[in-house]
Amino acid sequence: MIKKLFIATLVALLTFTAPTPVTNITAVAAEKNPVIVIDPGHGGFGDRNLGAQYNGLSEKALTLQVANAMKAELEKYDNVTVYLTRTDDRYISLEDRAAFAKSVNADFVYSIHFNASSEHLFYGSEIWTSGFDKYYKAGAEFGNIESEALGALGLYQKGVKTKLGSSGKDYYGIIRASVARDIPCVIIEHAYIDHGYDVPKVKDASFTNTLGVTDATSVAKYFGLKSATLGVDYSNYKKATVAKPSVVLGADLSDPETCQVNVLATDKASGNVLVEMTANDSNSPIIYFSYSYDGGKTYSYLQMWDRSKQTQSFNVAVPKTCKNPVIVCRAYNNYELFKESNAVAVTDFQ
């Protein structure tokens, strides 16, 4: 009797414990296939619907080109559903774009954009996302993959950024409207259409196609997709984990704290002044710097700042016409706020 009871107990234990790991495996395998909404920014007519316009380049046309290329590439992956918010040149409100994403049960909204600045100073890519909780986590984890990929194409990277409006919600409408519907969203500002570093790339139709393919590949990595067509498998791709922020993340609203220059050496023959610059911002990285040899009347183009260092040195070429050079520099953080340095008169130059 005792033996029989023991066997019955053992059978019961096996019966009740065995299914557990099977259930877990099933749960992993049954993870739902992602639904991706690609949003080509802007569209339609009237100033505010065109997006950035500069020297014949039109943001609303470029966004559609990249979005079409992104969709075509993403559809080469298995078990993914892809939608565009617009397929032609028409106005659609940001609320309607997000509502469309909700109606198709989207897992992520990718809003495709190009950039421009009023002074035509800036260049490179930036990725905007929500400042809130899991939406920031998703946006930053995707954004880090995407930023690395865009950097590999030779575009300068300003990284993942957040910005809040006066209401305390996300500043950008497509992000705010998506998050309100529980959908993570990023705005990918691929490049500037008004700066000499980026324009030759943007003007090349094969490059806009490459941008779409790059965006799609980053999505595939983020979601761990695989493609029999392409012969790639990102199902074991390890994306860097970003923690959910403990506070709401807004833009850096303060100028860099430190911007200091010294003159290390001068060479009258060549006109070169070797300048050492120290710059720091504890809230966001220093990404650009510029220099002036005429005491701040005119400045160089923005240069790329080496983010691995707080102090770096460079030559300033002073033209012969400038008899009394005065060196001043500016350090810009990745929200484009700058601090101007002390001025150093080069006394032994002439």
Please tell me the distance from the alpha carbon of residue 190 to that of residue 199, in angstroms, as a whole number.
11
Binding part of the chain for Zn ion, among 50-58, 67-75, 264-272, 316-324 by CB under 5 A, reads 50-58
Residue pair 277/259 in contact (Cβ under 8 Å)? The answer is yes
125 or 290: CB nearest Zn ion: 125
Q: Which of residues 106-135 bind Zn ion (CB under 5 A)?
A: 113
174 or 331: CB nearest Zn ion: 174
Please tell me the distance from the alpha carbon of residue 289 to that of residue 259, in angstroms, as a whole number.
10
Residue pair 194/55 in contact (Cβ under 8 Å)? The answer is yes
User: Smallest distance from the beta carbon of 265 to Zn ion, in angstroms?
Assistant: 45
DSSP 249: -
User: Smallest distance from the beta carbon of 141 to Zn ion, in angstroms?
Assistant: 23
Among 34, 40, 43, 51, binds Zn ion (CB under 5 A): 51
For residue 241, what are the CA distances in angstroms to 126, 131, 136, 288?
A: 19, 16, 12, 27
Note the helical H segments in the chain: 2-17, 19-29, 47-50, 59-74, 94-103, 133-152, 173-179, 199-202, 205-223
User: Smallest distance from the beta carbon of 50 to Zn ion, in angstroms?
Assistant: 9
Residue pair 222/73 in contact (Cβ under 8 Å)? The answer is no
Q: Does residue number 86 form part of the binding site for Zn ion (CB under 5 A)?
A: no
Q: Does residue number 143 form part of the binding site for Zn ion (CB under 5 A)?
A: no
Judged on CB neighbours under 10 Å (0-12, 13-18, 19+), 203 is: middle
Chain residue whose CB lies nearest Zn ion: 113
113 or 169: CB nearest Zn ion: 113
Q: Which of residues 266-305 bind Zn ion (CB under 5 A)?
A: none
Among 40, 41, 131, 143, binds Zn ion (CB under 5 A): 41
Please tell me the distance from the alpha carbon of residue 43 to that of residue 64, in angstroms, as a whole number.
9
For residue 7, what are the CA distances in angstroms to 12, 16, 20, 83?
A: 8, 14, 21, 57
Size of the site for Zn ion (CB under 5 A): 3
170 or 281: CB nearest Zn ion: 170
37 or 344: CB nearest Zn ion: 37
80 or 187: CB nearest Zn ion: 187
114 or 207: CB nearest Zn ion: 114
User: Smallest distance from the beta carbon of 187 to Zn ion, in angstroms?
Assistant: 8
Q: Does residue number 60 form part of the binding site for Zn ion (CB under 5 A)?
A: no
User: Smallest distance from the beta carbon of 183 to Zn ion, in angstroms?
Assistant: 19
Binding part of the chain for Zn ion, among 51-59, 166-174, 306-314, 334-342 by CB under 5 A, reads 51-59
Sheet holding 272-280, edge to edge: 258-267, 272-280, 311-317
User: Smallest distance from the beta carbon of 114 to Zn ion, in angstroms?
Assistant: 6
51 or 325: CB nearest Zn ion: 51
User: Given the rule CB under 5 A, which residues bind Zn ion?
Assistant: 41, 51, 113
